[in-house]
Structure 1
Amino acid sequence: MTGFDRSRSVDEATLRYLARAFGRRPEVEHTSLFPTNNLESLVVTLDAEYYPEYVESVSLELRAYTNGDFHVSYHETRAGDRRRCRWDRHDQPHNARDHYHPLPDAGTAAAVDRNYATDLTRVFEETVLPWVDDRVGTLWESATD
């Protein structure tokens, strides 16, 4: 992550809450809170059984900060091809503070401005999880074409 603001702190309470919430969901294979290779994150690995067999792995990576900034990345791997998108709230020169980087590569040039709920848990309920559900449906529809 470029332009990291050292004055912001990881919102550990929110990430712990989300880890517990995700841990209760049937489509979650496992969660990893503050893994050694990504100390500011919650990584949620989704159960590949919910996806067509050509999808090898799917995960979400969450970063939350006490100043309200966040980054939520969706990672999907199939046949060695990695696709990703990202929901962000942070100040930067390319978009509004709230913005979205779409599939397939979460590129900055394709980012679009968004308006997210103030609370990150609501961002998940209203934006991220419905998008993931739609993505699963899209993948299954394309698998039967």
Structure 2
Amino acid sequence: MTGPDRSRSVDEATLRYLARAFGRRTEVRRTSLFPTNKLESLVVTLDTEYYPPDIEGVSVEIRAYTNGDFHVSYHETRPVDRRQCRWDRHDQPHNARDHFHPIPDANTAAAVDRSYATDLTRVVERTVLPWIDERVGALWESATD
């Protein structure tokens, strides 16, 4: 066979590894691997104590597939709205295989091409977690303005 396998089997090993890694982080309140409402996902609930008071909930949902595709979504809940962004690797017509849908609503029209590390764990480590750290800082800065 030439080229990557395009089947969409859930990469359970990677999701289990990420669940253990997130479970060791102090800013994580809970991890839920393959919850009944998101059978292909790892859902990570972050501790809102790290966020300004107007942030009611923060979660990261990760889906990984054995063909290398993934979706990592960040969700931020406030009293009046919900904000989200998403890091993706999958074939589709709107962007390159690696792309990012920015906050506030992860709109497809606003997606930008990206180039991610081959391994999803490195994408989380080098791209997603630093983005979340910067987001927390930006939220605190805007809360004090």
TM-score band by shorter chain is over 0.9
CA-to-aligned-CA distance 1:83-129 (integer Å, 9 cap, x gap): 00000000000000000000100000000000000000100111000
Indicate the residue corresponding to 2:101 in structure 1: 101
How does the TM-score come out when normalised to structure 1?
0.95
State the distance in 2 between where 1:19 and 1:123 align: 15
> In angstroms, what is the RMSD of aligned CA positions?
0.9
Q: Which AA in structure 2 matches 1:112? A: V
Counterpart CA distance in 1 for 2:9 and 2:80 is 34
Gaps spanning 5+ residues in structure 2: where?
A: 1-5
Which whole-Å CA distance do the structure 2 matches of 1:86 and 1:9 have between them? 20
For 1:59, the aligned partner's letter is S
Q: Please list, as runs of the form range in 1=range in 2, the aligned pairs for 1:46-61 lying within 5 A after superposition.
A: 46-61=46-61
Q: TM-score with structure 2 length normalisation?
A: 0.95
Match of 1:33 in 2: 33
The equivalent of 1:3 in structure 2 is none
Counterpart residue number, 2:3: none
List gaps (5 residues or longer) in structure 1. Answer: 1-5
Partner residue, 1:9: 9
Q: Distance in 2 between matches of 1:40 and 1:124?
A: 17
Q: Which runs of 4+ in 1 moved over 2 A?
A: none
Corresponding position of 1:111: 111
Q: Deviations for 1:1-37, whole angstroms, at most 9, x for unmatched residues? A: xxxxx93100000000000000000000000000000
The alignment status of 1:141 with 2:144, answered yes or no, reads no
Is the 2:44–2:59 contact (alpha carbons within 8 Å) kept by the matching residues of 1?
yes
AA in 2 matched with 1:79: P
For residue 140 of structure 1, give the secondary structure of its aligned residue in structure 2: helix
